[in-house]
Amino acid sequence: MTNSAEAALQPNGGVRQEAAPAAAGSGPKRTARRRVRGFKAAAKDFALGAALPAAALIAWQSASSAGLISPAFLPSPLAILRSFARLAASEQLLHHLLVSMGRAGLGFLLGAAAGLLLGLATGLFRKAQYLLDPSIQALRLVPHLALAPLIILWFGFGEASKVAIISSGAFFPLYVNTFLGIRNADNKLFEVARVLGFSPGKTVTRLVLPAALPDVLIGIRLSMAVAWIGLVVAELIGSQSGIGFLINEAKQNMETDVIFVGIAVFAMVGKLIDSLMRAVERKYLHWRDGYQG
Amino acid sequence: MNQRTAAAAGRQPGKGSLAALAAILPVAALLLWEALGHYGMISELLFPTPSTIARAFVSLAQSGDLWIHLRISSVRALSGYALGGGLGLLLGLLVGLFPRTEKLLDPSIQMVRMIPSLAVVPLFILWFGIGEQSKVLIIAKSAFFPLYIQTFLGIRNVDNKLFEVAKVLGFSRFKQIFRLVLPAALPHVVLGARLSLGLSWLGLVVAELIASSSGIGYMMSDARQFADTPVVFVGIFLFAALGLLTDSLLRLLEWRLLRWKDSYKG
């Protein structure tokens, strides 16, 4: 799990290899020229990367305009944009989005707080680990969305069941990463702390928690992603509001363009949350002297 | 001897006491659950006792329904996994080995990755109906990305020193790929395969819960509508068991394939 998270953190770690700076005669002119060349290369990469989506969009739009694709099956990009504008103007979209974000936020807070607390407990205290960790690891094997029917039976179709579905998903990534982060703290640091005569309290706050912070932040990111996906499912299964409800209603009315709008909103908010967490990570982990890719 | 020193240091308890400590909580919870249910302190409808759940499992297994649903679900999950994972592996290899395909394909794939795979469920149902096709495709979409990303990363993280050695030894490009790049990327690829498998099961659960007329997910959602809680619990335990079983198989494979690896064993 940690591995995959690190992988996600550095999507192209060590891939790019810029031209090595020439040792001799690097006057301002040459730097400028190199910068231009670097800019050109970046533009070329961007053009190559954009070629496929752009071509697909153009083909899609022209095929739709020519009437080759039924709009009920695949509406044209322009139609999707229009219905996005319509939904945004009627403030319906904003309302559903706020409802969804409130649910995801509350579920995330509950699940992640429980995960963090239990992760700290099992990470710091060996007794707690022996007692709790095996049970939690066994529960982790249950696909959290398989619990959805049970949770709906218990809590009904109201808000409580949605929040419970989301928090049951958000719990595990943060728990696992907090536990691992504490246990992966370098033993040499503990020896130094002993030499410096740290009290146990000081060891925990000055050594263990900072050392575990990178893993905890990864856990928070993973938990947020899982919470967001759990939200989709909770709202698809049974709800009266939220983006998932918007999508599901559109499916029943065969409004394919609205489905696309909903999917796009999910993707954008998910990306936004992820970027936000990355920014937080940069702010709090700037002391870390790691490989920057 | 070793054990005694460990015990003397008061650190690691023996295997037996570890298992006993681990079992305290689940066993106590089960006993409490059974007792509370037996004396009618908790609603039988919401929390059927463990013995009721076991009976429901036995009766489902005897009637043969369980095996039909189980077979259908497994076939769906595995074919979706084979399709999505195979494509992910193939594209990951292409993108990892050739910088040109990377520049062309990787940005688009990363863009698609941002779409939560479960949000497209209604779209797939609209396009492909609620038949097998839509389910296999939903599962394939979930299984694609972990394997793609891990294969790509695994190839790109190969130590450059090894390439220098390969150059000194005069490896051909072909030999370089088969003797150096692929073995070095294997740990990541196997990890990707495991992550993909986990997501396939999750995709299956969702696909079957939302729209289906067969499979374990359908059995659970059907049972929920009739408030047949023991059957819901049976479904949850089955999913857990299936996930554990397939993950252990892949771990076995990992152990076989990566025996040569000399790393920290914990």
Over range A180-203, report the average pLDDT. 84
Whether B236 and B201 have beta carbons less than 8 Å apart is answered as no
Which residues on A lie below 8 Å from B22 (Cβ)?
130-131, 133-135
pLDDT tens digits, B166-189: 889 888 888 888 888 888 888 889
φ/ψ of residue A12, rounded to 5: -130, 60
pLDDT tens digits, A216-244: 988 898 898 888 888 888 888 777 888 88
**How confident is residue A14, by pLDDT bands cut at 50, 70 and 90?**
very low
Task: Indicate whether A35 pLDDT > 70.
Answer: no
Which residues on B lie below 8 Å from A147 (Cβ)?
236
Q: Whose CA is closest to A261, among A95, A83, A96?
A: A83
Task: Indicate whether A88 pLDDT > 50.
Answer: yes
Instruction: Classify residue A140 by burial, with Cβ atoms within 10 Å: 0-12, 13-18, 19+.
Output: middle
Q: Quick one: pLDDT at residue A15?
A: 35
Over range B8-33, report the average pLDDT. 77
Could B103 and A247 be called an inter-chain contact, meaning their C-beta atoms sit closer than 8 Å?
no
Q: Quick one: pLDDT at residue A119?
A: 93
pLDDT tens digits, B24-42: 888 888 888 888 888 877 7
- Parse chain A into domains and list their residue ranges: 91-284
Task: Indicate whether A154 pLDDT > 80.
Answer: yes
Which residues on A lie below 8 Å from B123 (Cβ)?
251, 256, 259-260, 263
Instruction: Output the average pLDDT for chain B.
Output: 84
Task: Indicate whether A276 pLDDT > 90.
Answer: no
- Predicted ipTM? 0.72
Could B119 and A232 be called an inter-chain contact, meaning their C-beta atoms sit closer than 8 Å?
yes
CA atoms within 13 A on the CB side of B132: 9
Out of A17-21, A250-254, B144-148, which region has the weakest mean confidence (pLDDT)?
A: A17-21
Q: Quick one: pLDDT at residue A288?
A: 63
pLDDT tens digits, A133-149: 888 888 887 888 888 88
What six digits make up the tokens of B132?
A: 């097998």
* Cα gap B109→A12, rounded to integer Å: 13
Whether A235 and A250 have beta carbons less than 8 Å apart is answered as no
Q: Quick one: pLDDT at residue A37?
A: 64
Give domain A91-284's CATH number out of 1.20.120.10, 3.10.129.10, 3.40.50.300, 1.10.3720.10.
1.10.3720.10
Q: Quick one: pLDDT at residue A16?
A: 35
| CA B121, B117, A85, A95 torsion-angle sign | positive
**How confident is residue A34, by pLDDT bands cut at 50, 70 and 90?**
low
Could A143 and B21 be called an inter-chain contact, meaning their C-beta atoms sit closer than 8 Å?
no
Q: Quick one: pLDDT at residue A221?
A: 86
Over range A48-76, report the average pLDDT. 84
**How confident is residue A33, by pLDDT bands cut at 50, 70 and 90?**
low
Over range B147-153, report the average pLDDT. 90
**How confident is residue A9, by pLDDT bands cut at 50, 70 and 90?**
very low
Could A13 and B153 be called an inter-chain contact, meaning their C-beta atoms sit closer than 8 Å?
yes
Could B243 and A141 be called an inter-chain contact, meaning their C-beta atoms sit closer than 8 Å?
yes
Letter for the amino acid at B65?
Answer: D
* Cα gap B235→B67, rounded to integer Å: 12
Q: Quick one: pLDDT at residue A112?
A: 94
Which residues on A lie below 8 Å from B46 (Cβ)?
153-154
Q: Quick one: pLDDT at residue A202?
A: 87
Percent of chain A surpassing pLDDT 90: 13
Percent of chain A surpassing pLDDT 70: 85
Task: Indicate whether A31 pLDDT > 60.
Answer: no
pLDDT tens digits, B111-120: 888 787 778 8
What is the per-residue DSSP string for B97-161?
H-HHHHHHHHHHHHHHHTS-GGGGHHHHHHHHTTSHHHHHHHHHHHHHHHHHHHHHHHHHTS-HH
Over range B39-56, report the average pLDDT. 83
Nearest to A150 among B108, B198, B232 (CB): B232
* Cα gap B66→B218, rounded to integer Å: 11
User: In the block, which residue shows the tokens 């990541």?
Assistant: B188
Q: Quick one: pLDDT at residue B91?
A: 94
Instruction: Classify residue A206 by burial, with Cβ atoms within 10 Å: 0-12, 13-18, 19+.
Output: middle
**How confident is residue A274, by pLDDT bands cut at 50, 70 and 90?**
confident
Instruction: Output the average pLDDT for chain A.
Output: 80
**How confident is residue A20, by pLDDT bands cut at 50, 70 and 90?**
very low
Compare A128 and A291 and report the one with higher pLDDT.
Answer: A128
pLDDT tens digits, A94-110: 899 999 999 999 999 99
Out of A3-12, A91-100, A151-160, B240-249, which region has the weakest mean confidence (pLDDT)?
A: A3-12
**Residue of A222, A259, A275 for testing the chain B interface, max B β-carbons within 10 Å:** A259
What is the per-residue DSSP string for A125-185?
-HHHHHHHHHHHHHHHTS-GGGGHHHHHHHHTTSHHHHHHHHHHHHHHHHHHHHHHHHHTS
Which residues on B lie below 8 Å from A133 (Cβ)?
22
Q: Quick one: pLDDT at residue B210?
A: 77
Q: Quick one: pLDDT at residue A103?
A: 92
* Cα gap A27→A13, rounded to integer Å: 31
Q: Distance, in angstroms, between A4 CA and closest chain B CA?
A: 8
Task: Indicate whether B209 pLDDT > 60.
Answer: yes
